[in-house]
Structure 1
Amino acid sequence: MIAVWRREGRVSDWQERFAGEGYHYGRAPAQFVQARMADLGAGARVLSIAEGEGRNAVWLAGQRYRVTAVEPTATGQRKALALAASQGVSLDWRAEDLKGFAWPEEAFDAALGCFFQFAAPEFRVRILAGLGRAVRPGGTVFLHGFSTRQLANDSGGPKIEEQLWTPERILPAFPGWQVIRAEDYDAVLAEGPGHSGPAALVDVIVRKPG
């Protein structure tokens, strides 16, 4: 059963969602992460936000990147660190809510925002600005989420149109950046019970000037 998303999802909602023994979105990384973030170079510093149960951060750490993961839920942290231990990798885990997160300045080679669609437009703009500040000149921001067309599907995501994406909703946050990819496309997800079935997705990859 697909969980119902709530506007500006409360930490307690996600705490409950991640409470079971199973991994709500599976243990494997999002296909976007695996396909697009495999060649950053050993030792690359990577920030991953809204990390949930750790599937993306653990895979990134397995590529020999130095990964900082931001996620406020204790249930998510418990499972993420268990997954990391099972894979023999370590994470710099920040148990913080993005609403109060002190975004670092130019500290990372890459930053990932994957399915952070609990954010209404104003909050989304703040998150995108933070991701942009966090990467160094020449660094890259990787974004992956559900398209506005996802309203027609039952494979996950909020039924709140303003929290869904188009490239045109994302790109204005990165004026003057090099656009490497900006696509709205269809795929079939098999990412645990939370993301399963035909889906409408948006990828945006941008590189900071410098």
Structure 2
Amino acid sequence: MSLPDWNARYSASEFAYGTEPNSFLKQHADLLLDPVLSIAEGEGRNAVYLASQGWQVHAVDNSSVGLAKAAKLAADRNVVITTEVADLQTFAPEPNAYGGVVSIYAHLSSSIRARLYPLLVQTMKPGGILILEAYAENQRGRGTGGPSDPDLLLTCGKVERDLIGLETMLLQETEREVLEGKFHTGMASVIQYIGKKSS
């Protein structure tokens, strides 16, 4: 199954996933170091939250419409973020550039993960932190959010295979209620991961 047309999804005046940050990210954000790279940022809810807490945030997404809303949300909340329209199939962040990387519901194919995840590790500075939450394969069929293609969903094993070079601080599959706009609503099976790059 193909992914949504993100420009179309974000073209409505309402925010598809709300304007409040992801709760897992909010719970662990104090681990992050400056600056922070947020991939598949969409309409900016997580980047704007982090900026409001004092981080320098660079938000990357393939949707120009989503990032325009992110910039407006930042302005409305009197914070500054930088944005970059980029396809994660080809996106290549600069090595040793970020103290934190955030991946919240960035559902990527196995081929994209195999290329991108090592680059995310390389872009992290020593001691940097990566925070990830995504729907698990067990989320299929629930109707509360996420793609139906299992290749786009995660397991703990996939994370361990694809995110090499970080010390695992947390890796779990858990059930939790996700309340993030109209597309992520209800009990869900999610993968949560926090990794640290050695100093």
Q: What range is the shorter-chain TM-score in? A: over 0.9
After alignment, is 69-78 or 195-204 more displaced? 69-78
Identical amino acids, percent of aligned pairs: 30
Q: CA deviation at 1:39?
A: 4.4
**How many Å separate the matches in 2 of 1:92 and 1:116?**
19
Residue of structure 2 in register with 1:140 after alignment = 129
Residue of structure 2 in register with 1:90 after alignment = 80
| Unmatched runs of 5 consecutive residues or more in structure 1 | 1-5
**How many Å separate the matches in 2 of 1:79 and 1:99?**
23
Give, as a single letter, the amino acid of the residue that structure 2 aligns with 1:201. V
2:107 matches 1:107: no
**Aligned pair partner of 1:46 in 8, 25, 36:** 36
Residue of structure 2 in register with 1:3 after alignment = none
Aligned length: 199
1:118-129 equivalences in 2 (<5 Å)? 119-129=108-118
**How many Å separate the matches in 2 of 1:80 and 1:175?**
31
Q: Deviations over 1:141-162 (max 9, x none)?
A: 1111001110131111011112
2:30 matches 1:24: no
Give, as a single letter, the amino acid of the residue that structure 2 aligns with 1:156. G
After alignment, is 22-31 or 165-174 more displaced? 165-174
Q: Deviations over 1:123-173 (max 9, x none)?
A: 122221121111011111111100111013111101111211111101123
Residue of structure 1 in register with 2:189 after alignment = 200
Residue of structure 1 in register with 2:63 after alignment = 73
- Aligned-partner SS, 2:89: helix
Does structure 2 conserve the Cα–Cα contact (< 8 Å) formed by 1:38 and 1:63?
no
Q: CA deviation at 1:183?
A: 0.6
2:124 matches 1:168: no
**Aligned pair partner of 2:6 in 6, 14, 17:** 14
Q: Deviations over 1:16-74 (max 9, x none)?
A: 01000000000001111111113436xx2100001100001000111110101101212
Does structure 1 conserve the Cα–Cα contact (< 8 Å) formed by 2:121 and 2:165?
no
Residue of structure 1 in register with 2:168 after alignment = 179
Does structure 1 conserve the Cα–Cα contact (< 8 Å) formed by 2:96 and 2:123?
yes
Residue of structure 2 in register with 1:155 after alignment = 144
| Unmatched runs of 5 consecutive residues or more in structure 2 | none
**How many Å separate the matches in 1 of 2:54 and 2:42?**
20
Give, as a single letter, the amino acid of the residue that structure 1 aligns with 2:28. R
State TM-score, norm by structure 1.
0.90
State TM-score, norm by structure 2.
0.95
Give, as a single letter, the amino acid of the residue that structure 2 aligns with 1:134. T
**How many Å separate the matches in 2 of 1:162 and 1:20?**
28
